[in-house]
Amino acid sequence: MIKVSINPEDRKFAGKVFNLTHQDLDGAACSIVLKNAFSSVVVEPIQYYNMNKRLQEMSETVGFFNQYDYIFLTDLNLEAHHCKTFFTMLQVSNYQGEVIIIDHHEDSGFLHDPEKNFFIQPGICAAMLVKEYVSKLANYSFDYLDEFINLVNAHDLWKDESKLFVKAKKLNMLYTFIVDEHQKGAKHGFNSFMQIYHKGIKFNNLSQNDMTIIKASEMDMDREWNELNVDLIPGTKIAMIGVSKKYTNEMCHRILDDVNNDIHVVINYNPRGSAASIRASKNIAGMNLPAVLNTVMPHGGSGGHKLAAGFTFPKVKFNTPWEEKWPIVQTWIDKLAKALVHVYPELKA
């Protein structure tokens, strides 16, 4: 348990925090909550596919972890091999501080152990869990963050029946714009998002500039939708699209929710990259994408929720030339589609 006392002037804990968090809106919101509870928080956003490599690099930097009293891992969907790398490194560097893991991905559930400060609780977004954690710790509600966290929750869990959902999607557009359009790259964009909205977001207080960004993003998204190619994988109700990473959720859900087609799974693959994401409709009983990915891919899927997951293609690198890349990608997609149809025969056309 965190023992340091609260600084009476700004109600913040004094210890130094290192926060490794998922590079998305939920991950950013986790860090924003921590920054409201601790006076010194160094944040590093990370993508799933990069996690082991980055953990390795940190361990090779002498004294890296020992600069911090607390390491918070938030919204990271840790798998057993990540944990192995991470905890081996902490041991090697003789880390004296505390590690707190807070996440909401179902398949990280094996880690849940409140006595060790490892909290995995599916069903609400990670930022909401972080807020509950620090509220209890500080005995202070941080209720000025509630609207923001509720919006993040509605977006992250894709609660499209929620009254908040329309606003939640707009909030994510703002996040995506600030992160993606930063001249110095996404990590800088992530930090500037946190700086601008360090006290969360009250939707009615958004600036004219924010509203312009949202409007422009909505138009950009519609343009992407109009230009989208949807390829049905022969013999299945699984489609493939190739879009920028920006509006993946929106594009996939527009396809899945369209009553005029019979598509129940969408694989989104950006031809420039080595990773793909996959979404499934609510209509396939028992659908569990990470479970299927784990049987098909050597290292399984990552970033997994039952209806939304990501994965990297084995043996495909970001800069592998297209002619070499495509046959490999195609083979894996084929295997994946076969496995999905095998487990969920409803996906057969």
Q: Which is nearer to Mn ion, 200 or 304 (CB)?
A: 304
Q: Which is nearer to Mn ion, 22 or 131 (CB)?
A: 22
Q: Which is nearer to Mn ion, 46 or 243 (CB)?
A: 46
DSSP state of 254: H
Distance separating alpha carbons of residues 200 and 157, to the nearest angstrom: 19
Q: Which is nearer to Mn ion, 48 or 332 (CB)?
A: 48
Q: Which is nearer to Mn ion, 29 or 341 (CB)?
A: 29
Give the nearest distance from C-beta 45 to Mn ion in angstroms. Answer: 10
Give the nearest distance from C-beta 75 to Mn ion in angstroms. Answer: 4
Give the nearest distance from C-beta 260 to Mn ion in angstroms. Answer: 31
Give the nearest distance from C-beta 334 to Mn ion in angstroms. Answer: 28
Query: DSSP characters for 12-46?
Result: EEEEEEEEEEESSHHHHHHHHHHHHHEEEEEEEEE
Q: Which residues bind Mn ion (CB under 5 A)?
A: 22, 24, 26, 75
Give the nearest distance from C-beta 126 to Mn ion in angstroms. Answer: 6
Q: Which is nearer to Mn ion, 75 or 79 (CB)?
A: 75
Name the residue number minimizing CB distance to Mn ion.
22
Report the helix count and the strand count for the chain, using DSSP H and E.
11, 12
Distance separating alpha carbons of residues 293 and 203, to the nearest angstrom: 37
Give the nearest distance from C-beta 85 to Mn ion in angstroms. Answer: 20
> 19: which 2 tokens?
């926060």
Give the nearest distance from C-beta 253 to Mn ion in angstroms. Answer: 17
CA within 13 Å, CB half, 345? 0
CA distances from 148 to 153, 197, 201, 206, 305 (A): 9, 10, 5, 12, 22
DSSP state of 92: H
Q: Which is nearer to Mn ion, 82 or 264 (CB)?
A: 82
Checking DSSP bridges between strand 238-241 and strand 230-232, what pairing results, if any?
antiparallel
Distance separating alpha carbons of residues 145 and 329, to the nearest angstrom: 42
Q: Are 32 and 25 in contact (CB under 8 A)?
A: no
